[in-house]
Structure formats: structure tokens, C-alpha cells
């Protein structure tokens, strides 16, 4: 079936380092992908998106890369800060009704 | 600031009880969704609705039902709560008219414990 999954469940980084969170997807028809950040006790919040006609998109300290050949997404966070500690989800739209398929999530832990 | 509001942050219910989880959005969105979130399993779609009185099953609808009598409100019903329904429940919405820009807006979640 369709899936959007993550390679690693937990990522620990030092404050100031760059973080890379990876995600694989199975549905080649997905045309729009989103990264969400979920802090403890809160619902997921939009970070950055990318459409399938793009390879890269940059935001403030975050970059998303899309490799359609191998069906892979990554989220790069520059100069990781303690406030970046959260669970990160990738998600892709699939099929009708605007349904999002979510990956299992990666917990990012930032150490001083 | 646009919002999706879930009526309860924490709920504790007994096995066999009928449980109602309420979700209200103020963005005039057509599409609303209920997910449950469990560690290591990510977000799994229970039910969704693309219009008033319309509903569609998601990936794990067993043991749940939904109600959408008004556009702004989408209720999740646990007909007879069981301990395996202990989870975080997330409501989300998205507009059909604006396409898929920015994806869903989520509520803060309801953490349900069934004892």
C-alpha cells in the first residue's frame, strides 16, 4: 500500500550542528509533500512544503530536498537550536479528498 | 488567527463507555479529518469528511464513527471504548478551494485514556 516512512526514529545532534531528517515514500503519483514539526503536547505544525516539479526548497534555516528518482525526501535544519527539539513528520498527498499520508516520525533531540 | 479547536486536552474514560471527541474549525474548511497518533506508528487516518453530512472511512475506522452535522464541527465517536483505543487523537482541516497549500491545520490533540 501507499506509505511515507522515515529511516531513523531518533536523531541526536549538538546545538549549532546541522540536522538531516530523511523520508521515503512509495506512491510515485504524490505531487505535494510537507514537513511538519510537533512539539510536546501540541498538534503538528507546518514547516515547509515542496511540489513534485521542484528538487529543492529553502525556508528560514530549513531546506527540503526531493529526489523523485529514488522517492526520497530530506529535511535539513541549519544551526540546530534547542527549540528545534521535536518530532518531525513528512507527509504526502495521495489520491482524492486531500488525504495526507504521514510517516512514522523522527524525534530530534538537540543537546547543548 | 485561524484555529482548529478540540474540546478536551485530556480525557479518562471507562471501558464500554460511549465517548465523544469534538472538533471545531473557524476557517470554513470543507474537509475535516480525524487521526490517531501512537508511538512508532505515526498518524493513522480514522475517518474524514469532505462536506456536511458526508463521511468516508480512513485506514482504521473499526470501533469508531463520526458525525458532521455542521460545516465547522466534526465529531469522533467511540461507540464502546476499549483499552486499545487509548491514544492521542488529532483533528485537522483543509480547504478544497485553496488547494493543497500548506496542508492541514491541526488541533492540539486530545489524549484519551481508557481504563
Query: pLDDT tens-digit profile of B43-56?
Result: 999 999 999 999 99
* pLDDT value for A1: 44
Distance from C-alpha of B78 to C-alpha of B80, rounded to nearest angstrom: 6
* Range with the poorest average pLDDT among A12-16, A102-106, B26-30: A102-106
A94: closest CA of chain B, how far (Å): 11
Across chain B, what does the average pLDDT equal?
A: 92
**pLDDT(B21) > 60:** yes
Contact across the interface for A46 and B94, Cβ inside 8 Å? no
Please give the interface size between A and B, counted as residue pairs whose CB atoms are below 8 Å apart: 55
Cα dihedral sign for A20, A21, A24, A27?
negative
**pLDDT(A6) > 70:** no
Percent of chain B residues topping a pLDDT of 70: 95
Which residue, among B27, B31, B33, has the nearest Cα to B46 in the 3D structure?
B33
Select the residue from B49, B104, B105, B110 to test the A interface by mutation, using most A Cβ atoms within 10 A: B104
Distance from C-alpha of B16 to C-alpha of B2, rounded to nearest angstrom: 35
Select the residue from B42, B54, B91, B98 to test the A interface by mutation, using most A Cβ atoms within 10 A: B42
* pLDDT value for B102: 73
* pLDDT value for A4: 61
In DSSP terms, B37 is beta-bridged to: B43, B88
C-alpha cell, B52: 456536511
pLDDT band (50, 70, 90) for residue A7: very low
Amino acid at each position: 500500500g501507499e506509505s511515507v516512512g522515515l529511516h531513523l526514529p531518533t536523531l541526536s545532534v549538538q546545538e549549532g550542528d546541522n540536522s538531516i531528517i530523511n523520508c521515503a515514500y512509495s506512491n510515485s503519483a504524490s505531487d505535494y509533500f510537507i514537513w511538519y514539526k510537533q512539539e510536546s503536547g501540541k498538534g503538528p505544525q507546518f514547516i515547509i512544503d515542496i511540489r513534485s516539479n521542484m528538487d529543492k526548497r529553502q525556508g528560514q534555516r530549513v531546506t527540503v530536498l526531493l529526489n523523485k528518482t529514488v522517492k526520497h525526501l530530506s529535511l535539513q535544519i541549519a544551526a540546530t537550536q534547542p527549540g528545534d527539539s521535536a518530532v518531525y513528520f513528512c507527509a504526502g498527498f495521495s489520491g482524492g479528498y486531500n488525504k495526507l499520508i504521514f510517516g512514522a516520525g523522527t524525534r530530534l533531540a538537540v543537546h547543548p | 488567527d485561524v484555529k482548529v479547536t478540540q474540546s478536551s486536552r485530556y480525557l479518562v474514560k471507562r471501558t464500554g463507555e460511549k465517548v465523544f471527541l469534538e472538533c471545531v474549525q473557524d476557517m470554513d474548511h470543507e474537509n475535516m479529518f480525524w487521526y490517531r497518533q501512537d508511538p512508532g506508528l505515526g498518524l493513522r487516518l480514522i475517518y474524514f469528511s469532505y462536506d456536511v453530512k458526508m463521511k468516508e472511512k480512513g485506514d482504521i475506522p473499526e470501533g469508531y464513527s463520526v458525525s458532521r452535522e455542521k460545516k465547522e464541527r466534526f465529531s469522533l465517536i467511540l461507540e464502546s471504548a476499549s483499552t486499545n483505543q487509548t491514544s492521542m487523537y488529532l483533528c485537522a482541516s483543509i480547504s478544497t478551494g485553496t488547494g493543497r497549500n500548506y496542508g492541514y491545520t491541526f488541533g492540539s490533540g486530545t489524549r484519551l485514556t481508557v481504563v
